[in-house]
Each structure stands twice: as C-alpha cells, then as structure tokens.
C-alpha cells in the first residue's frame, strides 16, 4: 500500500508558494497520507496508547506535552518516519526548497522522538529548535509535522503558530486538521509554537515530526528572507512573552539558552 498521497510525489509546483510565505517559507499539504493508509493508521491510534519510554514536559513554556522514542513505536508508524527519511522523499523536498545539500540525520531510533502528543490545556511557547545535527554538526534547515488526530475539532485549538524573527509577534497560524502536513524552513529565526489547547477533554493532539539538515553551512544563500539568511549554532531557544519571567529561578534554563542564542547571533554578524 502506498503511504504518501501520489499528488505529493513532486513538490516543484509548490516552490513559489513555499518561498513567498511569511514570516518564513512554509507550505501546507492536506490529505498528505494516502487515504487507505491514513484510515488504517487512524483506527489503531484511536484504540491504543503509543506513548512509551519517552519524556514528559510540564513547564511554563512546554505544558502537557509527551514525546515517545522511535524504538517504542509500532511498525505502522515507523513506516511513515522511514519514508520521510528516505532518499526518495529527500529528493522531493529538494524540488520544493532548492536546497541541494539536504539530508536526514544519522542518529538512531534510540535517540529520536518523532511521535508527539499533547493533552488538555497543553501548549508550546514560541521557540526555535536545535540548530545542528547531534552526530555531525550540520545545520538543521527544514521541518515537517504531520497531524494525526482524526477526532480533532478546530475549537480545541492546537494550531501551529509562526512568529516574527524575534519570536514575539504571531504572524501566521496553521489550523490542526487530520492528515495535514506542514513543511517549514528552519532557521535561527523560525520561531514557532502550539496554540493552547482548550475544552478537548481526553482527546490528544497527536503528530509526527521529522527534521532535515544540510551539508552546507550557508544553506539559505539562494533565498531572499525577511531576516538575515545566515545560519548560526544554538540550542532549542524559547521566548517568554514578558522578559521578567526569565528572572524566576525555575526559568533559568530558558534564560541561559536565550543568552547563548543571542551571543552566537552577534558572533555570526562578524
């Protein structure tokens, strides 16, 4: 059975749409998985709990979120992540982005956590993800997220939010919809988050997330962006709505990450 909808076997026709989006390049692909495959996947996701051996987050910026290590996931989910890490799919992503050095990570399943869930009242604050492949330091330059919960209602919230280059002002919003994929350029300025969940009861916000890297340390040079197109090294960095929140002891980890981010940003300009 085919996994991906055949209409996404080439994404060159989406390239102009991708590159012109604000605040940074992204594209929304509805009905991403082939219908029959998604229906089989959905019937199993509804009946079973696949959060195993991962990590839970409950902080001021990461609330009621869980990630499950790939080694704990069933085969029918791993088939999707395997395809999204395949040479064939990477070639399709090149047709969308024009990034020739595009590649996947060599990190094994014991370290990867591609399956995420978020429960009632959960949210994810404005942030940029890690900048580098942990195995070789290559730049992290692209993300794909795939929404999996068929029982989701847009009134529940949970949309993906895109912010300005400072991570402060919301610029765009992609509603959570079953079998919808969102591909977006990951740069040091690609701040994004998850809208707070509300009135969703026991319904979980489920998704798959895969990231991509480049063998070039100047991966965006062919793009005109609304911010500097220079890559620089940083950890996952969150932005609080109010600066004073960084002064709380429990938020010191976030403060240290932001300080390192800003120092490396300054260095990248010299």
| Model confidence pLDDT, tens digit, residues 5-62 | 999 999 999 999 999 999 999 999 999 999 999 999 988 887 666 666 678 888 889 9
Query: CA triplet 162, 209, 8: central angle to 5 degrees?
Result: 90
Cis upstream peptide for 23 (omega within 30°): yes
User: What does R_g of the chain's alpha carbons equal in angstroms?
Assistant: 18
pLDDT of residue 83: 94
The domain limits of the chain are 6-268
pTM equals 0.94
Nearest to 108 by CA among 88, 81, 87: 81
pLDDT digits (tens, 9 = 90+) for 233-268: 999 999 998 888 888 888 899 999 999 999 999 998
The domain defined by 6-268 folds into Jelly Rolls (2.60.120)
Read off the pLDDT band of 228 (50, 70, 90).
Answer: very high
Residue tagged 């989406």 (tokens): 14
* Residue 185 to residue 267: CA distance in whole angstroms: 22
Query: CA triplet 30, 33, 35: central angle to 5 degrees?
Result: 95
């Amino acid at each position: 059975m085919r996994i991906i909808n055949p209409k996404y076997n080439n994404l060159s026709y989406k390239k102009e749409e991708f590159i012109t989006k604000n605040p940074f390049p992204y594209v929304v692909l509805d009905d991403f998985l082939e219908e029959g495959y998604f229906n089989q996947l959905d019937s199993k996701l509804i009946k079973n709990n696949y959060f195993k051996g991962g990590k839970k987050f409950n902080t001021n910026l990461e609330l009621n979120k869980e990630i499950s290590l790939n080694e704990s996931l069933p085969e029918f989910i791993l088939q999707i992540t395997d395809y999204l890490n395949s040479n064939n799919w990477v070639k399709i992503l090149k047709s969308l982005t024009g990034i020739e050095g595009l590649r996947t990570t060599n990190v094994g399943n014991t370290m990867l956590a591609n399956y995420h869930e978020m429960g009632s009242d959960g949210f994810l604050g404005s942030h940029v993800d890690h900048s580098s492949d942990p195995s070789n330091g290559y730049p992290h330059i692209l993300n794909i997220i795939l929404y999996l919960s068929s029982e989701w209602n847009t009134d529940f919230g949970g949309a993906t939010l895109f912010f300005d280059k400072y991570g402060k002002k919301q610029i765009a919003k992609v509603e959570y919809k079953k079998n919808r994929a969102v591909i977006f350029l990951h740069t040091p300025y690609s701040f994004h988050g998850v809208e707070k969940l509300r009135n969703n009861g026991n319904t979980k916000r489920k998704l798959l997330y895969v990231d991509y890297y480049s063998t070039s340390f100047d991966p965006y040079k062919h793009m005109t962006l609304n911010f500097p197109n220079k890559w620089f090294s940083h950890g996952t960095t969150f932005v609080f709505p109010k600066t004073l929140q960084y002064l709380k002891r429990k938020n010191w980890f976030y403060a240290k990450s932001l300080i390192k981010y800003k120092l490396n940003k300054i260095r990248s300009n010299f």
